[in-house]
Amino acid sequence: MDERLETELISIPATPRATSTPEILTPTGQRSPRPPTAGGAAAKESKSAAWTPTSFISPRFLSPIGTPMKRVLVNMKGYLEEVGHLTKLNPQDAWLPITESRNGNAHYAAFHNLNAGVGFQALVLPVAFSFLGWGWGIFALTIAYFWQLYTLWILVQLHEAVPGKRYNRYVELAEAAFGKKLGVWLALFPTVYLSAGTATALILVGGETMKLFFEIVCGPLCSSNPLTTVEWYLVFTSLCIVLSQLPNLNSIAGLSLVGAVTAITYSTMVWVLSVSQRRPPQISYEPVSFPSPTASLFSVLNALGIIAFAFRGHNLVLEIQATMPSTFKNPAHVPMWKGAKVAYFFIAMCLFPIAIGGYWAYGNLMPSGGMLTAIYAFHSHDIARGLLAMTFLLVVFSCLSSFQIYSMPVFDSFEASYTSRTNRPCSVWVRSSFRVFYGFVNLLIGVAFPFLSSLAGLLGGLTLPVTFAYPCFMWVLLKQPPKHSCSWYLNWILGWIGIAFSLAFSIGGIWSIVTSGLKLKFFKPN
């Protein structure tokens, strides 16, 4: 009788939840599916030895229990494994700005990616076209767009590449792919440099734009002692510090929405205003000529570096995805990819019209400062003062929003160091002190090196591997596609081409700084 009852219980068809393989706990309380292990005695032994919070609800334990009770307990087991209610959270992970909130969704992903992907760097794309011309400019911009979209997909998929582990930060994924020491050495400098360098450049651009906005609005009524450019930097930095008191990445979703809307709006206004005005006389679409082939080569490399810098933001992809819940039925990569696709559709709608429309409007007469400098130089008397002031004000709002999302990984690093040393979360005063310190350090760097905002080509070259090269290597090392397969060849080739481009574009950026006539300046403050 007992044998017959046990046979009947074992033969009952279970629901998909009941038969799902137990999942590995992650430090953040979420679960990822465990792939089937290879057969063999060792695998069976390790599988039976593994313990989970629901291990007691096993077929051996349930065998003496009747069928209705078994179904209830098995379904409860599947529910607990799916939701993760019995998971013990990692305290430090719950204290840090990137991972303390897990209620993100596809809308937040779209806002954050769009806020990070469109910014002041788009305004200098016509400068790159003035060195490359129509054909090579459009070709390079198109290739860069689809290349970075592919590597974005790679990062989204690699967020949970290892079962039971979420790589919440770019450096963590680099350590898993390249090794702990090499991963930190390869990824830490370019990601921190990109975050901090972008924040400093945003202070310079935002402060100078605020000064221009004030001069346009005030006009001849301005006082005899207006604020200096450095003082406007201080005003902009103070606003950034106030907004940076929001605690975590999800809490700035509203700011990212504001940044996304203002970026789309001013990008559209800039190219529409440019193409609607009469083009300057003696305009030409021939690439800028140089006295020597070497100078021409370096100028082309610097222009390609400017295009590469326009596609930044990959150092934030894993961090944005870390703000989302992830379960077996609803993994985080699904809403993340939905939001990213929407964001990069609008990014294309901003970057391509600015580059093409701006070059059509100004040709090789495009000032080295980009679109805002061109509009102010050629059409400040033709465009209504209110419309021009609104454009500059939208740029200020966009810079304020972008500062928050690019600074969040640095805030996370500060607080991770503090919590690991003290084993307690940061208090409000400690967190505020970190953010005030970071804001004023960027201000001091910007004042000491005011030409930092002109280093678009060098910034693009140094940070290019983060976007175009490292994700390809990570895919091969973590996913391990079959050797000599299409995926294997594609990622190795793209990765090494990205490294070569990084070296070449960095050289071009350095040359543009050394050569006084080619220094890029986004604005020329009065």
CA–CA separation, 174 vs 187, rounded Å? 6
Whether the CB-CB separation of 168 and 99 falls below 8 Å is answered with: yes
CA–CA separation, 264 vs 117, rounded Å? 11
Each residue's pLDDT tens digit, 386-414: 888 888 899 999 999 999 999 998 998 88
Instruction: Report the chain's mean pLDDT, rounded to a whole number.
Output: 77
Mean pLDDT of 37-54: 41
pLDDT tops 50 at residue 76: yes
pLDDT tops 50 at residue 29: no
Looking at residue 151, its amino acid is T
CA–CA separation, 317 vs 113, rounded Å? 8
Looking at residue 436, its amino acid is V
User: Who contacts 180 (Cβ-Cβ below 8 Å, separation ≥6)?
Assistant: none
From residue 91, alpha-carbon distances to 166, 248, 395 in Å are: 15, 16, 39
Q: Residue 99, CB half-sphere, CA atoms under 13 Å: how many?
A: 25
Q: Where does the pLDDT of residue 382 fall: very low under 50, low under 70, confident under 90, or very high at 90 and above?
A: confident
**pLDDT value at position 278?**
84
- Ranked by mean pLDDT, the top range of 171-175, 195-199, 211-215, 456-460 is 171-175
Mean pLDDT of 168-182: 89
Q: Which range, of 41-55, 217-231, 480-494, averages the lowest pLDDT?
A: 41-55
Give the DSSP H or E segment for 154.
helix 125-158
Phi, psi of 153 (to 5 degrees): -60, -40
From residue 135, alpha-carbon distances to 293, 294, 483 in Å are: 20, 21, 36
Each residue's pLDDT tens digit, 102-160: 888 899 999 999 988 887 788 888 988 888 888 899 999 999 999 999 999 999 999 98
**pLDDT value at position 371?**
84
Whether the CB-CB separation of 326 and 30 falls below 8 Å is answered with: yes
**pLDDT value at position 74?**
52
Give the DSSP H or E segment for 32.
strand 31-32
Give which of 74, 83, 59, 64 is closest to 10, Cα–Cα.
59
Whether the CB-CB separation of 98 and 412 falls below 8 Å is answered with: yes
**pLDDT value at position 30?**
40
**pLDDT value at position 157?**
92
DSSP string, 488-499: HHHHHHHHHHHH
Q: Which range, of 39-43, 196-200, 297-301, averages the lowest pLDDT?
A: 39-43
Q: Which range, of 143-157, 165-179, 215-229, 263-277, averages the lowest pLDDT?
A: 215-229
Give the DSSP H or E segment for 346.
helix 333-362
**pLDDT value at position 36?**
42
pLDDT tops 80 at residue 86: no
Q: Which range, of 63-72, 150-159, 199-208, 442-451, averages the lowest pLDDT?
A: 63-72
Domain boundaries, the chain: 103-516
Mean pLDDT of 462-487: 88
**pLDDT value at position 465?**
87
Looking at residue 378, its amino acid is F
Q: Where does the pLDDT of residue 96 fall: very low under 50, low under 70, confident under 90, or very high at 90 and above?
A: confident
More confident residue, 287 or 271: 271
Each residue's pLDDT tens digit, 319-368: 999 888 887 788 888 999 999 999 999 999 999 999 999 999 888 888 87
Note the CATH number of domain 103-516: 1.10.4160
Each residue's pLDDT tens digit, 316-332: 889 999 888 887 788 88
Each residue's pLDDT tens digit, 231-272: 899 999 999 999 999 888 888 988 999 999 999 999 898 889
Total count of residues recorded for the chain: 526
**pLDDT value at position 517?**
43
Q: Residue 29, CB half-sphere, CA atoms under 13 Å: how many?
A: 20
Which residue blocks in 56-124 are alpha helix, DSSP H? 59-62, 67-83, 91-95, 106-117
Q: What is the DSSP letter of 323?
A: T
What is the number of other CB atoms lying within 10 angstroms of the CB of residue 469? 22
Whether the CB-CB separation of 154 and 472 falls below 8 Å is answered with: yes
